[in-house]
């Protein structure tokens, strides 16, 4: 599919993240205005509350877009999602009759504050990138035991905390935690010295279920995707993770990008999962191509300095799709809700510069990374700004995700000071 031209000139730039082919959904405010729903188009945001009030979009329910979240639109289901997308495409296409009426409803993105685009119902994070799992397993347990025996049969996950999810641009405070290094006799309470990122994609559940669903049903239930950084304290993780998995190591924050890129926008970029070493059981079998060709990049900027690219990889490197993760999540009867967020797991490619965490890039701190500024990093330093970016490359256009960034603030002197 080629670029769909828009009367919003900046949306026709081949480099823009937000051509008319994309139409991602966010929540924005300007000044002291109340946050409300918007759609990104080029370097502008279409104020959906204004569009709704003018009667230009009608999904059969009142006041959907004055809300500071997209959950109510998701609740309407896939038919309404398709109707909305078709309507917006018609309104914003080059030559559309309503241009003069819509023009005042566009807000420059540069003037807007972006908020979390949906209410995160619950958050689950998976561990479904094979290169990442192999790298981390090798470091933690040795090459012989790198992949746990279940790994090639189920997408492993843990239940995270929706309350810890924040939007891009939110500062992250270095956490304190209980640490015990391999040479320490006893644990101690101290700021994490091995604070890290995890490059992931987040899938947003748009359709509730109550009981097991198939991979195809799961794919149909996904509303869209965001970039996701699962900030991770490796020293807290190493001490706490057995036997129940990560807990405080992942509790500080998880940053997501502010725009929900819909599954519809990503349709042209579907790709198959990699070859299976063991056939998956029937309820998890691939039901067509359910990964996407999305180029991903991580940059690290030390305080006051230019960013260096530290990793480049692709979402197609995943072993399990979000649809398989969602299907697996439902197998034992877990009800899934509109607004559930599923982290893909860290996305690493086979090459050294394709690794989606500093833990892997610096090989547990043994091989510090040299930035373009000449500084080295094994883990994040105070003041570092970490940014994820991603896009699918179409024919003359890009489906971009917008920024997913955060700056690491120093730990408090004493987190229990009152």
Q: Nearer Cβ to Ca ion, position 124 or 330?
A: 124
Beta carbons within 8 Å of 393's beta carbon, 6+ residues apart: 293, 295
Smallest separation (angstroms) from Ca ion to the CB of 403: 19
Smallest separation (angstroms) from Ca ion to the CB of 69: 24
Q: Nearer Cβ to Ca ion, position 241 or 363?
A: 241
Say how many residues make up the chain: 418
Nearest Cα to 332, choosing from 69, 137, 202, 154? 154
Smallest separation (angstroms) from Ca ion to the CB of 294: 17
Beta carbons within 8 Å of 389's beta carbon, 6+ residues apart: 227, 296, 297, 299, 400, 401, 403, 404
Per the residue annotation, which of 115, 131, 132, 328 is the catalytic one?
132
- State the virtual CA torsion across 129, 133, 135, 141 in degrees, nearest 10: 180
| H helix or E strand, kind and range, residue 261 | strand 261-262
Smallest separation (angstroms) from Ca ion to the CB of 328: 16
| H helix or E strand, kind and range, residue 74 | helix 71-75
Token pair listed for 325:
């993760």
Query: Between residue 349 and residue 378, which ones bind Ca ion under the rule CB under 5 A?
Result: none
Query: Between residue 106 and residue 135, which ones bind Ca ion under the rule CB under 5 A?
Result: 125
Show the CA angle centred on residue 263, arms to residues 257 and 267, nearest 5°: 125
Task: Tell me how far apart the alpha carbons of residues 407 and 199 are, in angstroms, rounded to a whole number.
Answer: 15
Q: Nearer Cβ to Ca ion, position 81 or 239?
A: 239
Q: Nearer Cβ to Ca ion, position 106 or 300?
A: 300
* Phi then psi dihedrals of residue 18, to 5 deg: -125, 65
Question: Closest residue (Cβ) to Ca ion?
Answer: 230
Smallest separation (angstroms) from Ca ion to the CB of 33: 35
Active site residue 283: no
Q: DSSP string of 214-236?
A: -HHHHHHHEEEEEEEEE-EEHHH
Query: Between residue 245 and residue 304, which ones bind Ca ion under the rule CB under 5 A?
Result: none
* Phi then psi dihedrals of residue 229, to 5 deg: -115, 110
240 contacts Ca ion (rule: CB under 5 A): no
Query: Between residue 153 and residue 192, which ones bind Ca ion under the rule CB under 5 A?
Result: none
340 contacts Ca ion (rule: CB under 5 A): no
Segment interacting with Ca ion, rule: CB under 5 A, options 79-87, 133-141, 196-204, 383-391:
196-204
Smallest separation (angstroms) from Ca ion to the CB of 63: 36
Query: Could you tell me how far CA 39 lies from the centroid of its own chain?
Result: 18
Q: Indicate the DSSP class of residue 217.
A: H
Smallest separation (angstroms) from Ca ion to the CB of 381: 21
Cis before 243? omega within 30: yes
Smallest separation (angstroms) from Ca ion to the CB of 161: 13
Q: Nearer Cβ to Ca ion, position 50 or 298?
A: 298
Which residue from 196, 198, 235, 317 is in contact with Ca ion, where contact means CB under 5 A? 198
Q: Nearer Cβ to Ca ion, position 124 or 389?
A: 124
**Which ranges constitute the DSSP H helices of 301-346?**
322-330
Nearest Cα to 343, choosing from 135, 155, 207, 215? 155
Strand segments, DSSP code E, in 78-198 are: 106-108, 113-115, 123-126, 157-159, 165-167, 172-173, 176-179, 188-191, 195-196
Task: Tell me how far apart the alpha carbons of residues 52 and 369 are, in angstroms, rounded to a whole number.
Answer: 50
Q: Nearer Cβ to Ca ion, position 129 or 307?
A: 129
Number of residues that bind Ca ion (CB under 5 A): 3
Task: Tell me how far apart the alpha carbons of residues 11 and 1 are, in angstroms, rounded to a whole number.
Answer: 16
230 contacts Ca ion (rule: CB under 5 A): yes
Radius of gyration of the chain (CA): 21
Q: Nearer Cβ to Ca ion, position 125 or 340?
A: 125
Report the catalytic residues.
132
Give the binding site for Ca ion (CB under 5 A).
125, 198, 230
């Amino acid at each position: 599919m080629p670029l769909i031209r828009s009367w919003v000139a900046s949306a026709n730039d081949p480099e823009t993240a937000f051509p008319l082919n994309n139409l991602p959904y966010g929540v924005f405010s300007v000044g002291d205005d109340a946050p409300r729903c918007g759609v990104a188009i080029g370097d502008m945001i279409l104020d959906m509350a204004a569009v709704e009030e003018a009667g230009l979009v009608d999904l059969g329910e009142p006041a959907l877009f004055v809300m500071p979240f997209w959950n109510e639109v998701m609740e309407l289901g896939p038919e309404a999602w398709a109707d909305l997308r078709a309507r917006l495409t018609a309104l914003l296409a080059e030559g559309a009759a309503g241009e003069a009426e819509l023009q005042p409803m566009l807000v420059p993105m540069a003037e807007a504050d972006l908020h979390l685009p949906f209410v995160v119902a619950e958050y689950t994070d998976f561990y479904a990138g094979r290169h990442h799992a192999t790298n981390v397993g090798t470091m933690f347990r040795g090459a012989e035991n790198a992949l746990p025996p279940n790994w090639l049969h189920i997408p492993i996950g843990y239940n995270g905390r929706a309350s810890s999810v924040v939007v891009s641009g939110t500062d992250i405070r270095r956490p304190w935690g209980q640490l015990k290094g391999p040479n320490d006799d006893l644990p101690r309470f101290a700021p994490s010295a091995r604070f890290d990122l995890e490059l992931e994609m987040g899938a947003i559940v748009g359709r509730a279920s109550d009981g097991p669903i198939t991979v195809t049903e799961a794919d149909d239930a996904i509303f869209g995707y965001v970039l996701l950084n699962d900030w991770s304290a490796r020293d807290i993780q190493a001490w706490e993770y057995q036997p129940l998995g990560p807990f405080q190591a992942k509790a500080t924050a998880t940053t997501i990008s502010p725009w929900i890129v819909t599954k519809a926008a990503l349709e042209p970029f579907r790709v198959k999962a990699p070859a299976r070493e063991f056939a998956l059981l029937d309820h998890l079998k691939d039901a067509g191509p359910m990964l996407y060709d999305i180029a991903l990049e991580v940059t690290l900027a030390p305080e006051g300095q230019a960013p260096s690219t530290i990793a480049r990889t692709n979402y197609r490197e995943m072993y399990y799709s979000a649809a398989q993760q969602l299907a697996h999540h439902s197998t034992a009867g877990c009800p899934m809700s509109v607004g559930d967020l599923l982290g893909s797991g860290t996305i690493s490619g086979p090459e050294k510069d394709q690794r989606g965490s500093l833990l892997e890039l610096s090989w547990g701190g043994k091989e510090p990374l040299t930035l373009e500024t000449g500084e080295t990093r094994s883990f994040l330093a105070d003041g570092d700004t970490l940014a994820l970016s991603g896009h699918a490359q179409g024919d003359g256009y890009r489906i971009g995700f917008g920024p997913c960034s955060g700056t690491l603030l120093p730990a408090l002197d004493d987190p229990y000071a009152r």
